[in-house]
Amino acid sequence: MGQILDALHQLQAIELKIAAIRRTEAGKTRRVQTYKRQVAAADTQFAEHRKAVRERQLRLDQLNLEVAARDQNIQKQRDALGRAKTNKEYAAILAAINTTKADNSKLESTALELMDDIQSLKSATVHMEEEKTALLARVADAEREAQAYRDEVAAELARLEGEREECATGIGPELLQTFSRLAEHHDGEALAPVQEANRKRTEYICGGCNMTIALEIVNVLKSSEEIRFCHVCGRILYLEEPASRRSS
Ligand SMILES: [Zn+2]
């Protein structure tokens, strides 16, 4: 294998290691963000919940006022009952009192329902607070873990980046650019081995995309250090078998 291809291979190995570290790091960062989103969602839910409690409390206060007003009314009607001059008048006032009483008992049972509601909302709120505390702890754990990973790999990353720079000096700027573009496009795999599809019929394929590689390209790779690309996926081709190298 030629010197440049060797350098490209080294570069690819370094790139893949860096990419793996970056992927792990990104995964840990995503975890922190996921937990933070959960905290934000819990906050929103919590706020809605408190709003619901406040609304019910307001309605309950209103109901209690109404009940008190009606109670006062009943008292007035009772006083009027004593002053009734005819049986008819008496019966009418009594009927009115009964209607008000019936109304009030409806209001009172609605008030009881509201109080139950408020009670269960409040106990749910306690549960929500506990959940949020747990979520915050999870965020802190995930943040610690992400930071610990960054600390752990910082030296390794710096070393790999130094190696990458060193390795890149042996490769021309144009080829380096092509390599970077291919690496980005093919998930770090800028190189592809030429593979024998059929030994007897000497058919070769690109190990990256499995498309046929012309025999003349294989011959160029066998006999020179020229760089050749797969005409389908564009990857930089290399011969993988030691036997091929020996024959060159
Ligand atoms: Zn290909």
Instruction: Measure 241 CA to ligand 1 centroid, in angstroms.
Output: 18
Q: Which amino acid is at 235?
A: R
DSSP string, 24-58: HHHHHHHHHHHHHHHHHHHHHHHHHHHHHHHHHHH
Instruction: List per-residue pLDDT tens for the chain, 248 residues long.
Output: 578 888 999 999 998 999 899 999 999 999 999 999 999 999 999 999 999 999 999 999 999 999 999 999 999 999 999 999 999 999 999 999 999 999 999 999 999 999 999 999 999 999 999 999 999 999 999 999 999 999 999 999 999 999 999 989 889 999 999 999 999 899 889 999 999 987 777 899 999 999 999 999 999 999 988 999 999 999 999 998 654 444 43
Ligand 1 geometric centre to CA of 232 (Å) = 5
* d(CA 231, ligand 1 centre) in Å: 7
Q: Which amino acid is present at 190? A: A
* Residue 165 to residue 159: CA distance in whole angstroms: 10
81 - beta bridge partners?
none
Position 246 scores a pLDDT of: 41
How many Å separate Cα 192 from the centre of its chain?
34
Residue 225 has what pLDDT? 87
Q: How far is the CA of 166 from the centre of ligand 1 (A)?
A: 28
Instruction: Tell me the CATH number of domain 3-168, given options 3.30.750.24, 1.10.150.530, 1.10.3720.10, 1.10.287.1490.
Output: 1.10.287.1490
What is the value of pTM for the model shown? 0.69
Nearest-angstrom CA–CA distance, 67 and 185 = 74
Check residue 1 and give its pLDDT.
Answer: 59
How far away, in angstroms, is 164 Cα from ligand 1 center? 25
Domain boundaries in the chain?
3-168, 174-247
